[in-house]
Amino acid sequence: MNRIFSGVQPTGNLHLGNYLGAIRNWVQLQPDYACIFCIVDLHALTLPQDPKALAQATREVTAAYIASGIDPEKSIIFNQSMVTGHAELSWLLSCQTPLGWLNRMTQFKEKAGKHRENAGLGLYAYPVLMAADILLYKATHVPVGEDQKQHLELARDIAGAFNRNFGVELFPLPEPQILGHATRVMSLRDGTKKMSKSDSSDYSRINLSDDADSIALKVRKAKTDPEPLPETADGLADRPEARNLIGIYAALTDKTVAECCQDWGGKTFSDFKAALSEIAVAKLAPIHDEMARLMDDQSHLDAILKHGADRAHDIAGQTMHAVKEIMGLVAV
Ligand code: TYM
């Protein structure tokens, strides 16, 4: 059976972009793949974190996975730092990765900003850790949002370089799965910016932890333009906010963008927003409630993480054994 690996960083609030771009697709893929869904806490450390908030967010992401429909018995759920192979393989792969490949990564440039000299080595090396996550389990498929595409191309390059350098066929080249109508959900305040956990305005995103009233308020306040909605998808071309809201609506209703334009063409944003907020609440409120219920029992969540880490560790151990042997690292 093909194997999926994917993950979310436990930083800040999970939002609609994480849900529609990633987690919801995982739930749909779960029956057809052996799945590993990780809470990538080592990745979170590439930027400063408050230790208490990091631990809380790790459990919250665990709760969000389960509340969204990931089955912790069928799929493996665990946090990255519990399986030491991630950090270990990351080092071994970093020795196979030319600097030039990392210099191309746009996310590093965005996150490091103007003060690149002050950015941490971890932030720079982050895509190698991501490649290690995937290759540690020889994952064949990686479902992510569009923003992770470049990192996945790098993971493929690193897998290929390892196989070539050592004359082996150890790692499959992982295939990205960028699925659905909301592969890049944009900010509700600016349709040209990605919806992100780090945006200073909470009105820019719908969080999975938002209650029905907050969701309705954020949708009502979402930026729009003065025109009525277009009748065809082509009419969304220069209208980033309209395109984003229709894309979200399409993803939540499982319709195509063209169908949504047919349904809503010529209508005002205020009518459309009422319908969008209704469907968003209907889809997200059950997840919100279940997350709250799960968060009340921390020991249950911790037991799930432990069980997942034990299962992940068994698979990771086999890969690490093979990698070390191939590289000439003596393990007596
Ligand atoms: P992270 O935590 O930033 O995001 C988690 C997942 O959510 C998707 N996503 C979005 N999709 C659509 N619209 C958006 N606005 C949006 N924002 C985020 C991301 O594409 C991602 O799928 N490096 C990764 C985590 C990671 C990982 C991995 C993923 C670490 N190792 C191995 C896959 C495989 C990250 O920071 O995702």
Q: Which pLDDT score is estimated for 12?
A: 83
List pocket residues of ligand 1, CB cut-off 6 Å: 5-9, 17-18, 21-22, 40, 43, 130, 133-134, 142, 144-145, 147-148, 151, 183-185, 194-195
What residues contact 96, with CB distance under 8 A and at least 6 apart?
Answer: 158, 161, 162, 165
Assess if residue 200 is contained within a domain: no
Q: What is the mean pLDDT of residues 6-28?
A: 96
Q: Which domain holds residue 220?
A: 210-293
Residue 111 annotated to the active site: yes
Assess if residue 307 is contained within a domain: yes
The CATH number linked to 240 is 1.10.240.10
Percent of the chain with pLDDT over 70: 100
Nearest CA to ligand 1 atom 24: 8
Cβ count near 261 (within 10 Å): 22
Distance 31 CA to ligand 1 centre (A): 21
Residue 74 half-sphere exposure, CB side, CA atoms within 13 Å?
16
Distance 68 CA to ligand 1 centre (A): 16
Same domain as 135, residue 69: yes
Report the SS3 class of residue 237: coil
Report the residue among 14, 147, 156, 158 best suited for mutation to probe ligand 1: largest number of ligand atoms under 8 A from its CB: 147
Residues 121-158: pLDDT tens digits? 999 999 999 999 999 999 999 999 999 999 999 999 99
Same domain as 274, residue 179: no
Closest atom of ligand 1 relative to the 18 alpha carbon: 7
Assess if residue 205 is contained within a domain: no
**Residue 1 predicted with pLDDT over 90:** no
Same domain as 42, residue 157: yes
Q: Which pLDDT score is estimated for 98?
A: 97
Same domain as 243, residue 128: no
Same domain as 322, residue 280: no
Distance CA 228, CA 170 (A): 55
Q: Which pLDDT score is estimated for 159?
A: 98
Same domain as 257, residue 118: no
**Contact in structure between 233 and 262 (CB atoms under 8 Å):** no
Same domain as 147, residue 63: yes
Can you name the residues that pair with 177 across neighbouring β-strands?
143
Residues 56-66: pLDDT tens digits? 999 999 999 99
Distance CA 169, CA 226 (A): 56
Same domain as 116, residue 14: yes
**Residue 332 predicted with pLDDT over 90:** no
Report the residue among 83, 124, 144, 185 best suited for mutation to probe ligand 1: largest number of ligand atoms under 8 A from its CB: 144
Domain count, the chain: 2
The CATH number linked to 90 is 3.40.50.620
What is the dihedral sign for C-alpha 240, 243, 249, 250? negative
Give which of 225, 92, 106, 203 is closest to 158, Cα–Cα.
92
Q: What is the mean pLDDT of residues 203-226?
A: 95
